[in-house]
Each structure stands twice: as structure tokens, then as C-alpha cells.
A and B are shown apart, each in its own frame.
Chain A
């Protein structure tokens, strides 16, 4: 099945540092989503992007929908220990009728040293 190329695979940073991660695809998506998964939990939606070129913020998080509709990035500013987790990008396609489908990236594991 199709997967998105997400990088980096893991990051180990100091508290207070900024973080950047991105996803690329060979396919065009209608929507880009960024999720965070805390240890032992399911992914939780952080940011949803609906238009090419869109830049959206959610607190210390900023994400952009690439102009080509084939990529997206997520930035986290001034990281804190609770930012620890796995971050997933996802591209959403519409299959027609009532059905949409998510294609996920392989995840970025973020560790923050206090």
C-alpha cells in the first residue's frame, strides 16, 4: 500500500529547541493532517490543512500544506518535555461518495531532554 515519506525518523533534542519535520508524497492529497501519539495511546489530531499553500498554527505548532499538494511540514517551537511522542503526517484522499481515506507517514519519534 501507499505510504508517505516522513523525516526525520527520530529526533533527540534539548528542551527549548525548535523542531521541524516533513512529509512528501508522489501523490496529490486534498487534505494534510498532523497527529501526535503519546506512549500507549491512539493518535490525536493536532492540525488539519485543507488548501494548498495554507499555513496554520496551533499554539507552538505550525504546519503548512505544500503548494504542489504533495508535501507538508510541521514545526514545533520552544519544545517542552510533554512534546515527547510519535508524530504522524497523513494525507487524505476522497474515494468518492461518502468515503475518505488516510495514508500515513511512518512517523517521527521525538524525545525532549529537560
Chain B
């Protein structure tokens, strides 16, 4: 089975703090993704990566950055956390290629910024 692990399930941070959300997958997937989930808005793509050291902006990249130094690990960084970044963050991974390669999700990281 594909396993996508998000190391922090619940975090509470102060406004202005730097926040790291870590994600590791064990299936040697090339593609990795970070989404945020908010009520009524579904899942929105923040950043994705299709190879080590490669990154692409998603639909809502503002206020976030990412790092992919190793194939299995994709980190989401909030340089200066703000209250509007309180949300559930979901990491995902998939094989490369086109249609038919489904995406698998981690369990989510609940971030509260106070």
C-alpha cells in the first residue's frame, strides 16, 4: 500500500512564526503535492513538485514556499504564519505520467495560527 506520512497532525503556532510541515512518501513517487482544505472551498493546490529540487506554484501559493531535497520528502514552509493560514493541510503523491495515475493523500496536518 502507498503510504504518505505527515509528521505533525496538530500544531498551534503564533502569528509571525516560521512553520514547517513535513511529508514523506514510501512508494518512490515522482510527483508530490501540498493542498489546503477549508470548509466550503474543498481542496486547493498550494505547490507541487515533479522531481527533486523542482517545484511549481499551484492555485494559492502566496505566503507559502516548499522544499524538495530528497525524492521521498516534500516540505511546506510558512515563512511568517498568519491567522488566515489556519487550515488543514494535505500532502499527496503520485506516479509520473498522464491520465490514470491516481494521487494518494496523507492524513492531514491541522494548523491553528493564533
Contact = CB atoms under 8 A, between A and B. Distances in A.
Contacts of A107: 42
B99 A42 contact: no
Of the four ranges (under 10, 10 to 19, 20 to 34, 35 or more), the interface on chain A belongs to: 20 to 34
Contact of B108 (A1, A42, A50, A105): A42
A30 B99 CA distance: 6
B7 to A, nearest CB: 14
B30 interface: yes
A7 interface: no
10 contacts: A1-B59, A9-B40, A33-B102, A42-B107, A44-B105, A50-B100, A98-B30, A98-B31, A98-B96, A105-B42
Given A31-B102, A88-B43, A98-B51, 7 more contacts: A1-B45, A2-B59, A3-B41, A4-B42, A94-B97, A101-B45, A102-B33
Interface of B: 4, 30-31, 33, 35, 40-45, 48, 50-51, 56, 58-60, 90, 92, 94, 96-108
Interface of A: 1-4, 6, 9, 30-31, 33, 35, 40-45, 48, 50, 88, 90, 92, 94, 97-102, 104-107
